[in-house]
Amino acid sequence: VFYDHFHKLKGSGLTYGCSEVSDVSASVELACHLQHPKWPEAVEIGLEILKRVYFARLQQLEQVYDLGADPQYRK
């Protein structure tokens, strides 16, 4: 179920020009697909990062959220 939802988010992010959503979703999608032992943690972290992306985009619609500066994304 999580794989399917993050797969859809990955495509939607690209469709709507929000590459950060696609990048985060692709990472979580892969963890779910491979059934990585820490996939539940990846889902939680991914959702938290997506919230931060959302709020950053609300404040400045044209500014891209810097995933490289997010310590949780590097996990």
CA distance 48 to 53: 9
7-60 pLDDT tens trace: 999 999 999 989 999 999 999 999 999 999 999 999 999 999 999 999 988 887
pTM of the complete model beyond 0.95: no
What's residue 61's pLDDT?
66
Confidence of residue 3 (pLDDT cuts 50, 70, 90): very high
Cα atoms in the 13 Å half-sphere on the side-chain side of 68: 1
Q: Are 23 and 67 in contact (CB under 8 A)?
A: yes
- Give 39's contacts (C-beta < 8 A, 6+ positions apart): 2, 28, 31, 32
